[in-house]
A = this chain, B = another copy of it.
Amino acid sequence: MAKEITTRAEDYSQWYTDLVVKAQLADYSSVRGCMVIRPRGYAIWEKMHDALDAMFKETGHVNAYFPLFIPKSYLSREAEHVEGFAKECAVVTHYRLKTSPEGGSVVVDEDAKLEEELIVRPTSETIIWNTYKSWVQSYRDLPILVNQWANVVRWEMRTRLFLRTAEFLWQEGHTAHATREEAEEEAQKMVNVYATFAREWLAMPVIVGVKTESERFAGAVNTYCIEALMQDGKALQAGTSHFLGQNFAKAFDVKYADINGKLEYVWASSWGVSTRLIGGLIMTHSDDNGLVLPPRLASVHVVIVPIYKTEEERSQIRACAETLLQELKAEGIVAKFDDRDNLKPGFKFAEHEMHGIPLRIAIGPRDLANGTVELARRDTLAKSSEPLVGLAARIPALLETMQHDMYQKALKFVEANIRKVDTYEEFKRVLDEDGGFISAHWDGTPETEALIKEETKATIRCIPLDSVPEEGVCVRTGKPSHRRVLFARAY
């Protein structure tokens, strides 16, 4: 590569942005806060989409599509929702442009003003529950288990590629149920689907927990979440699943007749993950050489680089590579032969490392003579000389090993960075010196939570679902506490 990226030690935040841009995953567009997701980045999203979509369908969900626009008045229907979402939104006020009187450019046609402004969806609870009203009459119409893949817009003031952008891509599940129990079970089921997906596909360890009242989704009764830990010790909320109670059913008057004909409000859940996961993936695994991609999310698993001086060597290596490509294809492995003649092998190596291709095979004249290749793993950067015979057949297992190793490495990092802390001094010291998750007692009040946030910039990431009751005293107020919660500074 012509230019390298900033190292993590030097400036973690700049490293991240450099990597996203240099690995050609995404780039800022000329539209404020909106990103262009480049083919290499979008290919990762496609893999995520396909894996998640299959998991949603296995759990009985179907996809649908609802309008991009939400009438402004809908946002006001659910009291907490409006507080949470009707703020930084893109507002459509007109539906026509016209040629400017001077010509050459276009101006907004003031005659084409909408009677009611339309909001570009920041999330779709309101428009979807307004629709469910006409879908639900009786208990036989329930449950509704619908998911939507869509773009949403939140006019964020400070944006970062993938992590926080004005427009982003996501999926949002919106389910309707006859009973409270069923809706709560759904919300919990889906946060566990997210956890499984993060662990098995992203090789990203996550803690499954429930949010405190202050951190809840606007309009939810309970918000479940998966929280991940980035290499710089900051936490990342990677997915949320909400039990919405009857809040949206009441706001949009969605009732069903039960088996006895009695009308009841419908119970709801909603759950979503977004292109933010790509940011989490990068910050979990990548290094100063560029992207490190779990093999299950890679579109290209193997790149073969020829090393030659003469045209004769080149054609001999090409013949060898072509056979290997065919053998790899037969194993279900996607491999590319990088035969570009205007670039040195060293440049190619650096470029493929930047792009995160899991395995690199280099073949030179000596390899040909010895019947070997040089195999390099992207995750460990380890190189080894491998016999060519039977190589292709060994690759699938090696990729599985890498997927497993990446998860284990990340898991060790998270485990080493959850610290039990019992005094506020230590709390602040750990935050500043080590980062990571802090497991501490808290008195359960939003006031103390806000105070800690103000004083330390740490928030309660979640109350882990597997946490056990433990008597103690709040790290900040000394008041009694019955269980530890996880604090961290977060993205």
Residues of chain A touching chain B, judged by Cβ–Cβ distance below 8 Å, are 27, 29-31, 34-39, 41-43, 45-46, 62-73, 75-76, 82, 86-99, 104-106, 108, 117-120, 127, 130-131, 134, 140, 146, 150-151, 153, 155, 167, 169, 342
Contacts and interface: CB of A to CB of B under 8 A. Distances in A.
B86 A95 contact: no
A90 B89 contact: no
Nearest to A73: B105
Given A63-B42, A64-B38, A71-B30, A87 B93 contact: no
A134 B34 CA distance: 16
Given A62-B42, A95-B89, A120 B120 contact: yes
Contacts of A36: 64-67, 131
Contacts of A75: 97, 106
A27 B464 CA distance: 42
Given A29-B131, A34-B69, A71-B30, A108 B95 contact: no
A167 B167 CA distance: 17
A62 B34 CA distance: 21
Given A65-B169, A69-B90, 6 more contacts: A39-B64, A72-B97, A75-B97, A87-B97, A93-B94, A150-B151
Contacts of A130: 30
A99 B72 CA distance: 12
A67 B34 contact: yes
A150 B36 CA distance: 13
Given A76-B105, A97-B75, A64 B42 contact: yes
A171 to B, nearest CB: 13
A481 to B, nearest CB: 36
A255 B31 CA distance: 22
B39 A146 contact: yes
A118 B34 CA distance: 12
6 contacts: A30-B130, A31-B67, A36-B67, A38-B64, A72-B108, A87-B98
Contact of A108 (B68, B93, B127): B93
A88 to B, nearest CB: 6
Contacts of A92: 90-93, 120
Q: Which of A68, A75, A98, A104 counts the most chain B CB atoms within 10 A?
A: A68
Contact of A90 (B45, B118, B151): B118
Give the number of copies in the complex. 2
Given A30-B130, A76-B104, A118-B31, A153 B89 contact: no
A36 to B, nearest CB: 5
Contacts of A86: 97, 106
B94 A82 contact: no
Give the residue among A35, A42, A167, A169 with the most B Cβ atoms within 10 A. A42
B31 A71 contact: yes
Nearest to A145: B39
A68 B104 contact: no
A91 B98 CA distance: 12
A326 to B, nearest CB: 18
A348 B76 CA distance: 41
Nearest to A97: B86
A304 B345 CA distance: 61
B167 A29 contact: no
Contact of A31 (B37, B70, B91): B70
A106 B29 contact: no
Nearest to A85: B97
Contacts of A62: 39, 42-43
A31, A87, A88, A118: residue with the most chain B Cβ atoms closer than 10 Å: A31
A434 B140 CA distance: 46
A315 to B, nearest CB: 22
A91 B67 contact: no
A306 B114 CA distance: 53
A275 B93 CA distance: 26
A379 to B, nearest CB: 24
Nearest to A96: B88
Question: Top 7 A-B pairs ranked by shortest CB distance?
Answer: A34-B67, A39-B62, A37-B65, A91-B94, A95-B155, A86-B106, A31-B67
Contact of A117 (B46, B88, B108): B108
Contacts of A108: 72, 91, 93, 117
